Structure 1
Amino acid sequence: MAVKKGSIRHFRWFISNLAVNLIPALKRKIILYNRIIPAAEAGAADMRESTQATNFNAEEREFINYLPRQLPEQLKRKIACIEFHDKTLLGNTGALVDDNNQALISFMRSRPFVNYHDFRPEILNPVNKGEVRYFNMLGSHRGHRHLFHFLIDRMPQLYYALNLFKLAEQPLIVLINEDVPKFQRDLYRFISNDYPNVSFVEVPHNERWKVENLFHVDYYQTIKTTLADPDFLKFLKTTFMRGYGIDNNLSPTDRIYVCREDTKNRRFVNEQEIAAVFEEFGFKKILAGKLSFEEQIRTFNNAQYIAGIHGAGLTNILFSSPGARALEIFSEDHVKDTYFLLSRTLGQDYSYLFGGTQRRHSHFHLPASRLENKLRTTLSSLT
């Protein structure tokens, strides 16, 4: 039986945890705590809570019935701005710790236990920072380079800090990971232009920073984060498009097929046949990962109809117009609500299509005739 990657990581974590706690010389040099303190107890929290009815219509409920879990009738959202004093940020994992109590500080969406995402058996150089106002954008190091998770899961923290809690009314230094991709650097630069009091500083991977004044926005909601605050999505889209100088007043005309032939997982078994159908209906095939982020925004901004298999490339519907149409394609045994909720928040016309069951690497077959019928039906309303 194959051993899962996660199992190997857990085994390594168990061994390193054991070694650090048993060998005094290691324990003095390596931070690895097993105790957890909730963030609300470790700092002073300004909490905001809101509730709204989801109001799914009959057509949306038809799709929701295919989901492994039903969606609640109400969205409940908690947002807290927490001010910490004398805490330590770890550059290699992004974890926030309380050295005085030898504990990891946990947030609302955190796991209820310590594991390999929080600590690594590495010696980090201690750095003491002065009494400057810092904001924490390191978060969990895992996935911080991922387009979807950064934009949809992490960026709301900074948005709420600037627009809900008004932290930018005074000078604020935002602490970020040192190895961020270009699209993140661009976004941080655009934000600095819009908020003169805000600057960004990288925390080196091999350092741990003891910070006297640190703010962190912690938030949680009862539905996936793609059912987002519309004002946040508008902020994200406007910031990127203004920064790149993209005209947001175009009348979109393109039809694009977001292809995954350059990926290992989640592809059509009959890719050539499916691509030919899309071409027949006037769709341009794109490989989102081969485009710069600016090119992706421009492509989706001018798209009237976006179609593709469930995957991170569909995150870019964020940059399409409210009147755009999105067609998401699933295998029949792997249905997700991620982009259904995002498209709904954006006011777009969402539809879906199911293929066969998953095979190796989550590949599946989609009958070409099924796609032809779907496109013919959905395109008839655009003419």
Structure 2
Amino acid sequence: MLKKAFFGLLHTLGYHSRYTSVLHHPGKRSLRPSYVLDFDDAEKAFLEDSARSFNYAIDYSLGYRQKELYLVRLQDVQLLGNSGALVLDGKVVVESVGEVSRLAKSDAFKEVSLLLPKKRVGRYTSVLFLPWADHNNYHWFFDCLSRLYLVLEHIQEPIQVIMRRDMAPYQLETMHFVLKGYPQASVSYIGKHEKWQVEEFVLPSFVANAQSGFLPREIANWLRKKVWHGYGVQPNMAKRRIYISRANAKTRRVLNELELLPLLGRYGVEVVRAEELTYQQQVQLFFESEAVMAPHGAGLTNLLFSEQCQVLEFHPANLIKTHYFLLCKALGFRYSAVIGTTGDKLENYTVPVQEVEAWLKDIGV
């Protein structure tokens, strides 16, 4: 009795210490089976370098499996407004927060917060993924919006998409862009300190894997076209070459960037600071770019909106991340990497200028 009361108090405070899975739930509907990507020798070598830099915690050189895509219809579940996590019979649904390794980092497990209960009748879905997608465009597009494709293309009945009003403006904008053309869908806004008990919930699987921007081509194209159309992207015959600078960032800065600037100028490469642009301007810029250079960072998420381009990404030797290599793989873009020195405690590092110049020569003037 005391144990039940204890867990009841924790649940009232928005904290759940146990989890459950719905992978074998009777309401699950498989939409597309998993499959494995093929890599050539050069790609495998890059993936091996990445795996080594992370002590083989993730090793895609052994094979990258695009996960199964599915929907699960659930009855009488709670959605937590502070995290987007689902709770079924007092336990957090693993598939609503991505994977088991993220559970301990989710507000559903680590944050005690009074959440006001509200009942909601009808059919709902949500792709909230907090705190990761909070003002982070990588997680927003790959872990949130991409999942809506599964719902909107396969659920014809009326359905309400649960969203937070306090998300970044570009997130609210792009959410409405993807909903256009789907009259069955509308938006309902939940507060950070609310938890909704919903009559029926449709849970979409996550599409992207950890450290991966890979999306199946039909989902990537759907998302690209929705955002292009929503922001009114205009074709431009004069293609651009850009370098995304992190000079104003706190982490992952290129310490010898000043050495690169004269070289970039000789090859007609513009230096861009994404934080100085509106999101519409960022989308337009990447759409126009035929070559993109940048240190690893969320700014490269906008490669999703390039029409066609070549990519050079910088990495510190001890943190070689695969997110945008796999995005380029999905989009058919030519991807290259330059590996710099070992990063310091803020992941700052220097890059070999001669390798950058060799890549610029290779792509031509």
- Give deviations 1:95-128, integer Å, cap 9, x for gaps: 2113xx3222221832269536214222221111
Provide the identity percentage.
23
1:338 is aligned, of 304, 323, 336, to: 323
Contact 1:228 1:345 in 2 (8 A): yes
Q: Cα gap change, 1:358/1:39 in structure 2, threshold over 3 Å: closer, same or farther?
A: same
Matches within 5 A, 1:199-238: 199-219=186-206, 224-238=211-225
Q: TM-score, normalization: structure 2? A: 0.88
In 1: Cα distance, 2:173 partner to 2:49 partner = 38
In 1: Cα distance, 2:228 partner to 2:33 partner = 29
Which deviates the most, 279-288 or 189-198?
189-198
- Give deviations 1:164-185, integer Å, cap 9, x for gaps: xx21x22211011232111111
| Number of aligned residues | 353
Match of 1:34 in 2: 17
In 2: Cα distance, 1:53 partner to 1:213 partner = 33
| 1:89 and 2:89 aligned | no
Q: Which runs of 5+ in 1 are unaligned?
A: 1-19
Which deviates the most, 101-110 or 268-277?
101-110
Shift of 1:313: 0.8
Please tell me the residue identity of whatever aligns with 2:91: A
Match of 2:276 in 1: 290
Match of 1:78 in 2: 68
Match of 2:56 in 1: none
Match of 1:16 in 2: none
In 1: Cα distance, 2:357 partner to 2:64 partner = 37
- Give deviations 1:30-71, integer Å, cap 9, x for gaps: 243323221246661112342444222233233233221242
Match of 2:180 in 1: 193
Q: TM-score, normalization: structure 1? A: 0.84
Contact 2:244 2:293 in 1 (8 A): yes
Match of 2:55 in 1: none
Shift of 1:281: 1.5
- Give deviations 1:202-231, integer Å, cap 9, x for gaps: 111111111001111124677754221111
Which deviates the most, 169-178 or 296-305?
169-178
Contact 2:215 2:330 in 1 (8 A): yes
Please tell me the residue identity of whatever aligns with 1:260: R
Please tell me the residue identity of whatever aligns with 2:92: L
Match of 1:315 in 2: 301
| 1:115 and 2:104 aligned | yes
Match of 1:262 in 2: 248
In 2: Cα distance, 1:27 partner to 1:227 partner = 37
SS of equivalent residue, structure 1 residue 61: helix
Q: Cα gap change, 1:67/1:379 in structure 2, threshold over 3 Å: closer, same or farther?
A: same
Please tell me the residue identity of whatever aligns with 1:317: L
Please tell me the residue identity of whatever aligns with 2:302: N
In 1: Cα distance, 2:353 partner to 2:310 partner = 20
Match of 1:299 in 2: 285
In 2: Cα distance, 1:326 partner to 1:305 partner = 6
SS of equivalent residue, structure 1 residue 278: helix
- Give deviations 1:61-89, integer Å, cap 9, x for gaps: 33233221242346342122111111111
Please tell me the residue identity of whatever aligns with 2:118: V
Q: Cα gap change, 1:59/1:33 in structure 2, threshold over 3 Å: closer, same or farther?
A: closer
Q: Which runs of 5+ in 2 are unaligned?
A: 52-58
| 1:102 and 2:99 aligned | no
Match of 1:374 in 2: 359
Which deviates the most, 200-209 or 40-49?
40-49
Task: Kindly report the root-mean-square deviation, in angstroms, between the aligned alpha carbons of the 2 structures.
Answer: 2.6
In 2: Cα distance, 1:144 partner to 1:326 partner = 26
In 1: Cα distance, 2:301 partner to 2:11 partner = 44
Which deviates the most, 42-51 or 22-31?
22-31
Match of 1:243 in 2: 230
| 1:135 and 2:139 aligned | no
Contact 1:255 1:304 in 2 (8 A): yes
